[in-house]
Structure 1
């Protein structure tokens, strides 16, 4: 017994030293727990027990039972046997499956302009890969592997011995249980072969951040992510990871979208662009309350209250709510639209019978909106806001948002409004009908809510529970949840103490916004506003913080970005000069070098950022293809795929250069 005791204590101490060197945050967590146990400040619930003189188990004091109730080392060996090299078994599918798209359709996408579709610069490569990928697919190697739930970790070492993955992500909800695994699992030995990313006893937000860090590290190997699920209790990690996967930046903002923004923004160089780089004092001293009117279910339930009290608020209407406004004779003071898609604007406009109600409204538009909205509303009272990484006026800043709701919230915070009310910004399903929006919204749909783990996770249709504003919990979608996270971040970073925000919706709880039902608002304390005078004041204030001339300093920055684009093209030239590769390993190494060289300035350079987005979208398809055992004649495939990849990279770079040269020559 002394030998066993000495062995587990040695393992524990070696693991602590490893954590101290590699993960000081987790090390400190474990040490604090250890001290609390020793000083009787924390009552243990889980205990390590040696059973039948051959294995350890965990005894749970609260249930008076063992967690494994079997030989834990035999359990580990059994789990290792279950792990195979079939990509689609026990794995997360992290990509859009284009394998069933006909090649003739992919060909038509490949003929589109760069900004035509997110297929435009990947279709030719996908078509080749689809044609040459065998039906039977077996991985040569598992590069990344996830352990979701740890227990004593007796399965981790056997699985590592079998697959020798390059990196592991290890998650455990209970710190006590993880601490016990430090006695029985040689993490420090595994770390000699592989990198380990831990998420132990973390909040959902911290877990998702750590997983995203892991996901982006070695992203070229992300096609399928194999995993081991320790217990049903660990299924929460599955849901969180599925959510992370659908929130990836390269899916929400595909590489082609910045080209639309660049083209339309540059064509609007004489238009008024609002300064959103800082907090303005324009409206700080006003006592006028401002109400964001969006198209969530709560707008319908509170329409009578809004009709009765509309003159007591500055009404800022989301463009999608115009038919609702027309139906209820609600005249917006400001109308906001950021959607770049022509069809989305047309659908909304078809529902509006007359534009007379909106002829005096001020329009604030995202820099990428389609010009059809300007053609329908011919007026001078319009302002634009730079969006999503693309600036023409560097000094004016930009707003990054996935939807118009949080965009509008961010704008009002930066303009300095003191009293902000939110109506129709539910960001959750209607608890009664399960509908996503008010009935007149073009994207309204009824969704099923359930608590089961879904095999296929959809960015728009999958639902899960979150904290509610009036109710304990409500169901939301992944897309809504992305907006909620951005809203919460804006509240934490941008909202000042003197700014009050009120959430009037029976939807998601939003940080920084006080839950308040409309019947709780004492409208006797609100005065009717002089809307004619208000319109003039709003326009004057917005005009005072806008700009329609590109400054010399902005021109200098634009020239720097153009010169950087020339340098990126030279990097691709050098890559293109390599005419052949002896094997796929060397080819993969050169691709990684190309990516590393191009994207090292992605945080400050638009083109590097666009290409990083593009690489995240396409490269893992290529890497996966060459990692299949059934794929042979690699030299032939490398030649074909490389030719297509270089062609698409030139298309992306040349289009970017074309836009900047066109702007700067005038």
Structure 2
């Protein structure tokens, strides 16, 4: 039998080799800690001790034992606390319950204006045949919040034998000690491990997303163990990431319409901006651009704006229009990206559509027809979002209009960019999210738990040291940081005039400290249209039409494969939907749909008490196949009618 010194030495050597090969970031953190200790820059807080057959950790500052000299007992009791009932878990799905009338009404709805018709039959079948108070047959993914010495991790792994683990520890020194007491390499032989060790929120959010992406069909119920000595904050942060997964935030029917809508414009002679469109070396670039959005700062600075708006080319997001109309400020450029029909409220709130009759409109190709029909076709220019129908068209991507507008001005090489209302933070006095006239303005309560849109966290402020924002806004700040790093040139000057969050790449500037002059040339609106006309195209090339035909052929191939029969257990690999740069739009739609649906199906069969499994499997495979065929048929109709 090996003595304790041999065991801890072998564990440490195995773990270091494993981390260096498969988890290099974590390995480098440990190396940095070792160097800091060796050079006297860090004083070790903990000491590993072995007494009376128990291994434990002593806090040198308090002289307290982490496990009260009962680490083995703690590990066993931790494993005993894990059961197969539906408690101590996260739910990675949306709950749905349908009445018979709703099912009948949804059954024949093939409009894809909602996701419900495509999910109702499967979820209703599952609801009708699910066992109340069921027990899970297996726990395929598991999360550890807190490592300590990790003894409980090995005990729980021996019990549940999950396929995927997420291991979270904020104390790097404590995690380092666990390398002596637990063999992560051995666990990794039968399971995939994701480590979130000593990570800030940005890094941990990425790790959480990576964990959720692995075998996502098992995300329905995610069991976890929380070490009481570990901060609970990470539980809230994980919950936010879980509910903000892409397939839950932007549903497959939104993708389907986003990918189909551009074809209505491509074949009806609408103008598409070219990829290399640039204001550089044009008269337009001698004039500063002012980007306006509906953050609280817009309303607070409206008197300044009314006096000074003629000193800028005004680029306004569509939600500002009715407010700007009331204040007598006509935008030169309007940005709109929402793919939803209810987005027309920004235009219907106008007293008169004549207010924007001369404004240039730069719209996403996902914009629905009920909105574009309100705009003079000669003033409308499209950029693609999420599609690549035209090879050399301008392509932008961002989940919110503020960050996309920022990206747009960067890629157009606007030299001097000013921003007002891109707050991405709540008002310091009222906790409101937008200016008072915005349709979705609301006050956020500052509370302990974290939800994606309705809780507050602190970030760096533009004028104040810290401001409060929501996780939703914070995601946009991270996207802006990426845009600034990727697209901002040395010749571009960006100024944030708002009192919200600090914007990466932008200098803070109080509006009252500006001394811009009125625009020097009077025909800039005409010049702007001439410039955009020169840098846009209307028709599809022969090559682009050929690519479109290939997309339809690919869709028909998927139809044939599905008609041969599918099984939910391998449908993604069977249809070759593993997403890559070569994936078609249809692949992404089906992948998003299956990510939404498969966890319901997998969980239904993950039931100890289930009987008649083969019957249920046949029935659900049949329903799933029909839903996939309906999606593909809608896609084909939208793509082939003009080829």
Give the TM-score normalised by the residue count of structure 2.
0.94
Task: Compute the displacement of 1:477 (Å).
Answer: 2.7
Task: Map 1:258-337; keep pairs closer than 5 Å.
Answer: 258-269=255-266, 270-276=269-275, 281=280, 286-337=285-336
What is the rounded CA distance, in whole Å, between the counterparts of 2:492 and 2:68 in structure 1?
A: 56
- The answer for the alignment partner of 2:12 in structure 1 is 12
The worse-fitting range, judged by mean Cα deviation, of 261-270 and 405-414 is 261-270
List structure 1 runs of 4+ shifted beyond 4 angstroms.
277-280, 282-285, 600-603
SS in 2 for 1:121: helix
1:614 maps onto 2:593 in alignment: yes
Report Cα offsets for 1:194-241 as digits up to 9, x if no partner. 221212122322222222122111011110111111236432322321
Matched, 1:557 2:566: no
Q: Which structure 2 residues correspond to residues 14-93 of structure 1 after superposition, within 5 A?
A: 14-51=14-51, 53-87=52-86, 89-93=87-91
CA, structure 1 residues 353+63, in 2 after alignment: closer, same or farther (shift >3 Å)? farther
Does residue 413 (structure 1) correspond to residue 410 (structure 2)? The answer is yes
CA distance in 2, matches of 1:278, 1:604: 27
Query: Structure 1 residue 511: deviation in Å?
Result: 1.6
In structure 2, the residue matched to 1:624 is 603
Deviation by residue 1:85-106 (Cα, 9 ceiling, x = unmatched): 123x2211111111x3434324
Alpha-carbon distance in 2 for matches of 1:159, 1:638:
31
Q: Which residue of 2 aligns with 1:516?
A: 509
Shift of 1:610: 1.0
Q: 2:414 is paired with a residue of what secondary structure?
A: coil
Q: 1:276 and 1:243, CA in 2 relative to 1: closer, same or farther beyond 3 A?
A: farther
Distance 1:337 1:40, change over 3 A: same
Question: Which residue of structure 2 aligns with residue 382 of structure 1?
Answer: 380
Q: How does 1:484-633 map to 2 (within 5 A)?
A: 484-519=477-512, 521-523=513-515, 526-530=516-520, 532-576=522-566, 587-591=567-571, 593-594=573-574, 597-599=576-578, 603-633=582-612
| Residue 350 of structure 2 is aligned to residue 357 of structure 1 | no
> Take 1:114 and 1:638, find their aligned partners in 2: how far apart are those partners?
28
Residues in 1 aligned to 2:228 and 2:189: alpha-carbon distance in whole angstroms: 27
CA distance in 2, matches of 1:473, 1:366: 34
Distance 1:49-1:645 versus aligned 2 partners, 3 A rule: same
- Residues 1:530 and 1:21: Cα distance change in structure 2 (over 3 Å): closer
Q: How far apart are 1:17 and its partner, in Å? A: 2.4
Partner of 2:637: 658
- 1:468 corresponds to: 461
Aligned mates of 2:259, 2:300 — CA distance in 1: 40
Q: Select which of 624, 627, 636 maps to 1:645.
A: 624
- Checking the alignment, whether the CA contact within 8 Å between 1:294 and 1:423 is kept in structure 2 is yes
CA 1:38 to 1:376, structure 2 compared with 1: closer, same or farther past 3 Å? closer
Answer whether contact 1:294 1:317 (CA < 8 A) is retained. Answer: yes
1:379–1:654 CA distance, 2 compared to 1 (3 A): closer
Gaps in structure 1 of 5+ consecutive residues: 577-586
Matches of 2:527 and 2:277, distance apart in 1: 20
Query: Cα distance 1:460–1:27, how it changes in 2: closer, same or farther (>3 A)?
Result: closer
SS of structure 2 residue aligned to 1:460 = coil
Deviation at 1:182, TM superposition (A): 0.6
Q: 1:503 to 1:327 in 2, by over 3 A?
A: same
After superposition, give the CA deviation of every residue in 1:545-601 in whole Å (9 maximum; x if it has no partner): 11101112212222222222222223223335xxxxxxxxxx554435425x23355
Q: In 2, are the aligned partners of 1:467 and 1:474 still within 8 Å (CA)?
A: yes
Matched ranges for 1:81-230 at <5 A: 81-87=80-86, 89-98=87-96, 100-230=97-227
- Contact 2:277/2:535, CA 8 A, preserved across alignment: no
Question: Does the 8 A contact of 1:170 with 1:198 survive in 2?
Answer: yes
Which deviates further from its counterpart, 17-26 or 411-420? 17-26
> SS at 2:433's partner residue?
coil
Runs (5+) with no aligned partner, structure 2: none
Instruction: Determine the C-alpha separation between the residues in 2 that align with 1:481 and 1:358.
Output: 32
CA-to-aligned-CA distance 1:438-461 (integer Å, 9 cap, x gap): 1111111222122x235xx4x433
Aligned equivalents of 1:134 and 1:531: distance in 2?
73
- What SS does the corresponding residue of 2:3 show, helix, strand or coil? helix
CA RMSD of aligned residues (A): 2.3
Distance in 2, matches of 1:453 and 1:13, equals 40
Change (3 A) 1:337 1:32: closer
Distance in 2 (alpha carbons) for counterparts of 1:435 and 1:54 = 58
- Provide Cα deviations, 1:51-110, integer angstroms capped at 9, x if missing partner: 4x23232233344543333412211112111111123x2211111111x34343244334
- How far the C-alpha of 1:625 sits from its partner, in A, is 0.4
Tell me if structure 2 keeps the 8 A contact 1:276–1:411: no
**Paired residue total:** 641
Distance 2:35 2:300 in 1: 54
Q: Secondary structure at the match of 2:239?
A: helix
Instruction: Classify 1:625/1:66 alpha carbon distance in 2 versus 1 (closer, same or farther; 3 Å).
Output: same
Aligned to 1:427: 424
| Residues 343 and 371 in structure 2, CA contact (< 8 A), matched pair in contact too | no
* Per-residue deviation, residues 89-145 of structure 1 (Å, max 9, x unmatched): 2211111111x3434324433432252112221111111111111221210000000
Aligned pairs for 1:473-484 within 5 A: 473-484=466-477
Whether the 8 Å contact between 1:252 and 1:402 is mirrored in structure 2 is no
What is the match of residue 248 of structure 1?
245
Q: Deviations over 1:381-438 (max 9, x none)?
A: 1111111x22321221421121211121111111110111111111222121121111
Q: What TM-score does the superposition give when structure 1 sets the normalisation length? A: 0.91
Structure 1 position 9, deviation (Å): 1.8
Offset of residue 637 of structure 1: 1.1
- 1:41 deviates by 4.1
Distance 2:633 2:465 in 1: 52
User: Within 1, Cα distance between the matches of 2:29 and 2:587?
Assistant: 38
State whether structure 2 residue 426 is matched by structure 1 residue 447: no
- The answer to whether the aligner puts 1:373 opposite 2:352 as a matched pair is no
Q: Using the alignment, how far apart are the partners of 1:105 and 1:400 within structure 2?
A: 35
The alignment partner of 1:556 has SS state of helix
